[in-house]
């Protein structure tokens, strides 16, 4: 058993997946809930992980920040629009220089966190792991992906990253994590909003008509990325997007799932952030603005 203990904020499908992977590797972790959450009446949460035809059972302590103090290692897997408020609620119990790994979709919140809490050791991550919650507390690992973690100006992986290398997943350290984040952001901006608007699975974006919409969005996104200094991240964007569309043809994007369930979406940290970046740089974003306007009634944008 390792001496480090990870607290996980955000026990959705991805948060639950990494909790189970940590547990399988013998790394101690617990699930953090906000004060007042009805689930706090339970001291333990049992999660069933189905992966590769096998099923494993995992149990985790469930606690609030007040009972978890001090928190030294924190993984944040909330929705983007909940991230800053969730982190703010934990501030009294975060140890000085606590390691905080942000693993949420979109862009914009990273700058807010860095500016608001400079005393924290904040790192960002991006994952292509596929996980879906089935009935109850059963999580299906739908596809093995790659997880990248890094921090600005941090060339070498710190000691705590050995925990991530010990789990049953492809995890790597990237000094240029901003490039990784922008690449995933650009792909999400091209796929998620369109699937939410047309209420379609990812594969439908390869069909005539919709593929043209994807291409137009990619041209704008790439131009905005170039102007923002992220040329490497958006190089060959349309090809990258269509590769993801083909590989995930039967999937419903997270934004489509949120729309169908009547939940808020992360549009504020995807297309809204993209459009704001374009405006600040004086770059045309006509197609993305039109998409954003068409989506607003359905997506309840936050952020």
What's residue 248's pLDDT? 87
List, in order of start, the domains of the chain with CATH numbers.
5-175 (3.40.50.720), 179-299 (1.10.1040.10)
Cα 287 to Cα 294: distance, rounded to the nearest angstrom: 11
Cα 24 to Cα 234: distance, rounded to the nearest angstrom: 36
Among 39-43, 89-93, 158-162, name the one with the lowest average pLDDT.
Answer: 39-43
pLDDT above 80: residue 15: yes
Q: Residue 26 burial (CB < 10 Å; 0-12/13-18/19+)?
A: exposed
Among 141-155, 175-189, 215-229, 271-285, name the one with the lowest average pLDDT.
Answer: 141-155
Cα 19 to Cα 12: distance, rounded to the nearest angstrom: 10
Q: At what angle do helices 177-198 and 271-281 cross, to 10 degrees?
A: 120
What's residue 298's pLDDT? 62
What's residue 37's pLDDT? 66
Residues 76/102, Cβ–Cβ less than 8 Å: yes
Average pLDDT score, the chain: 91
More confident residue, 301 or 114: 114
What confidence tens digit (pLDDT) does each residue in 66-81 have? 777 799 999 999 999 9
Cα 31 to Cα 222: distance, rounded to the nearest angstrom: 38
Cα 234 to Cα 172: distance, rounded to the nearest angstrom: 21
Cα 29 to Cα 184: distance, rounded to the nearest angstrom: 27
Determine the average pLDDT of the residues in 119-135: 90
Question: pLDDT band at 64, cuts 50/70/90?
Answer: confident
Cα 168 to Cα 141: distance, rounded to the nearest angstrom: 12
What confidence tens digit (pLDDT) does each residue in 174-231 have? 999 999 999 999 999 999 999 999 999 999 999 998 999 999 999 999 999 999 999 9
Residues 87/76, Cβ–Cβ less than 8 Å: yes
Closest CA to 197 of 210, 208, 184: 210
The token pair that represents 79 in the structure block: 């929705």
Closest CA to 101 of 65, 134, 73: 73
What's residue 3's pLDDT? 76
184 a catalytic residue: yes
* Strand ranges in 15-53 using DSSP code E only, listed in sequence order: 28-32, 44-51
Residues 182/230, Cβ–Cβ less than 8 Å: yes
Cα 222 to Cα 214: distance, rounded to the nearest angstrom: 12
What confidence tens digit (pLDDT) does each residue in 236-268 have? 999 999 999 998 898 889 899 899 989 999 999
For CA atoms 26, 16, 133, 65, the dihedral sign is positive
What is residue 136's DSSP assignment? T
The token pair that represents 270 in the structure block: 């995807």
pLDDT above 60: residue 170: yes
Among 114-118, 132-136, 164-168, 230-234, name the one with the lowest average pLDDT.
Answer: 132-136
Question: pLDDT band at 293, cuts 50/70/90?
Answer: very high
* 64 three-class SS: coil
The token pair that represents 77 in the structure block: 């897997």
pLDDT above 90: residue 165: yes
pLDDT above 70: residue 303: no
Q: Is the pTM of this model over 0.85?
A: yes
Determine the average pLDDT of the residues in 56-60: 96
Cα 105 to Cα 125: distance, rounded to the nearest angstrom: 9
* 274 three-class SS: helix
Closest CA to 59 of 5, 4, 94, 22: 22
What's residue 241's pLDDT? 97
Q: 156: which residues sit within 8 A by CB, 6+ positions away?
A: 173
Question: pLDDT band at 290, cuts 50/70/90?
Answer: very high
- Among residues 24, 79, 184, 289, the one annotated as catalytic is 184
Q: Residue 213 burial (CB < 10 Å; 0-12/13-18/19+)?
A: middle
């Amino acid at each position: 058993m390792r001496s480090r203990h990870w607290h996980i904020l955000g026990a959705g499908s991805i948060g639950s997946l990494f909790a189970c992977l940590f547990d399988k590797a013998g790394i101690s972790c617990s699930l953090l809930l906000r004060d007042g959450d009805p689930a706090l009446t339970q001291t333990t949460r049992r999660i069933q992980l189905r992966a590769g035809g096998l099923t494993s059972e995992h149990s985790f302590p469930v606690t609030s920040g007040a009972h978890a103090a001090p928190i030294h290692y924190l993984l944040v897997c909330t929705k983007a629009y909940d991230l800053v408020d969730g982190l703010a609620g934990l501030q009294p119990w975060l140890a000085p220089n606590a390691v905080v790994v942000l693993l949420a979709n979109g862009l914009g919140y990273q700058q807010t966190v860095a500016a608001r809490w400079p005393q924290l050791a904040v790192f960002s991550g991006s994952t292509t792991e596929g996980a879906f919650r089935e009935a109850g507390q059963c999580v299906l690992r739908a596809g093995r992906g790659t997880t990248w973690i890094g921090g600005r100006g941090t060339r070498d992986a710190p000691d705590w990253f050995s925990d991530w290398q010990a789990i049953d997943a492809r995890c790597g350290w990237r000094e240029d994590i901003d490039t990784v984040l922008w690449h995933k952001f650009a792909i999400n901006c091209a796929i998620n909003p369109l699937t939410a608007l047309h209420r379609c699975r990812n594969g439908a974006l390869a069909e005539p008509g919709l593929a043209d919409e994807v291409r137009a969005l990619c041209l704008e996104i790439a131009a905005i990325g170039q102007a923002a200094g992220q040329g490497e991240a958006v190089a060959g964007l349309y090809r990258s997007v269509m590769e993801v569309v083909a590989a995930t043809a039967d999937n419903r994007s997270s934004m489509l799932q949120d729309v169908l369930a009547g939940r808020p979406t992360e549009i504020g940290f995807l297309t809204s952030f993209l459009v704001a970046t374009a405006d600040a740089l004086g770059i045309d974003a006509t197609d993305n603005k039109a998409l954003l306007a068409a989506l607003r009634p359905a997506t309840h944008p936050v952020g």
